[in-house]
Structure 1
């Protein structure tokens, strides 16, 4: 079997026991790190803080494998968070037999770490365009770390412009080239837990209206007739 280490991701749970979306001194913070590997059973993890090795203790509990989540996940629970706990935590994944470059994922925990927020800019919904144009749907996203945005169709089980059911965006913009009438409808932008906070997803919707020119008259219909 060929050994392989693939993409890694992380997420932060501000307080898993108090349903709180903020990182607070005196509370608990959980950092989760997940890596895809073959074979998964040979995956091992280690943790660093500011470049120095961490060992599991009463206040910093390291769990090598979490049976409640997907395989290849390790957790670092920081209990009773203190100012001295702020810093950069690194999750290092490797395979037991070595020989493959390890994966390192840095997670910064600081007093400025804030949960994500999401909104549609004023005047950007509904968005009216004409067939064959290029359109950009935009959701303004903030947060530290800044989360990935997931785009999907909100009004029906229809694929996205690239044929998938969901598209990722790192800047909150969904760009559609050569827009067609079947792309009319409601689009949802939603925060992803990966590379960000593991809190209740933030989401917003944008209505896209595609106009098309009447075949008999030189004006544009407000909404295109559905294709046969």
Structure 2
């Protein structure tokens, strides 16, 4: 996946607001009429791509397969908006998945006359696509450390595509070390520098619905004790 965290906005000469493209995310929804989450031949697969943009109404999407432009058809249905999800979302529905449908699909987002770089997100669909799983390494919870130490909380995450991990407090409503209520991690590690006793807590690691299957989030907890 190639997604810049942020794109420098530029001022539009005819308006007072700034144009911008921000984070892009994707998720995969296997056929909802089956009980498992695996991608199989003959099933229906939906790839959803969501991008934060200003102004949202000027967002334009296009789809590629292995670098070649895709057009909506009876078996590959492209929709630009979905009323069931947040604005700035496009869907690609692959009906009756065939072996020849495996490949890399790219969602490209741009703004009308934006004059700023587009955002592209690569999604690989293959027979080895696997739903996410999440575990805590043996002996890593509870984790006992001393004040002022640097500690790393770790959750082992697997899946193809590998999902983003979201960290938060499981036992109370409190901000994370960066001041937010939820922190993202791409390697499953939460690193806390100069820990203090008030950071003692039960921390939750949870798979995001984005960058993977749109299934109920997997989660695990780690108890941190600061002495």
> Shift of the alpha carbon at 1:15?
2.1
CA deviation digits over 1:40-60, x for unaligned, max 9? 111111111111111111111
Q: Provide the rounded CA distance (Å) in 2 between the counterparts of 1:6 and 1:174.
A: 24
Count of equivalent residues: 209
Instruction: Indicate if the aligned counterparts of 1:16 and 1:29 stay in contact, CA closer than 8 A.
Output: no
> Shift in Å at residue 13 of structure 1?
1.1
Paired residues of 1:16 and 1:30 also in contact (CA < 8 A): no
* Cα deviation, residue 19, structure 1: 4.8
SS at match of 1:182: helix
- TM (norm. structure 1) is 0.88
Offset at residue 195 of structure 1 (A): 1.7
Q: Distance in 1 between matches of 2:100 and 2:92?
A: 16
TM-score, normalization: structure 2?
Answer: 0.88
Residue number in structure 2 paired with 1:159: 175
Give, in whole Å, the separation in 2 of the partners of 1:28 and 1:12: 11
Q: Deviations over 1:136-195 (max 9, x none)?
A: 111000111111110000001111122211111111111111111111121000001122
SS of the residue aligned with 1:201?
A: coil
CA distance 1:17–1:97, shift in 2 (3 Å): farther
Q: Deviations over 1:78-104 (max 9, x none)?
A: 011111100011111122224222221
d(CA) in 1 for partners of 2:57, 2:179: 34
- 1:1-228 alignment, distance < 5 Å: 3-211=19-227
User: Higher Cα Rg: structure 1 or 2?
Assistant: 1
In structure 2, the CA distance between the partners of 1:142 and 1:104, relative to structure 1 (3 Å rule), is same
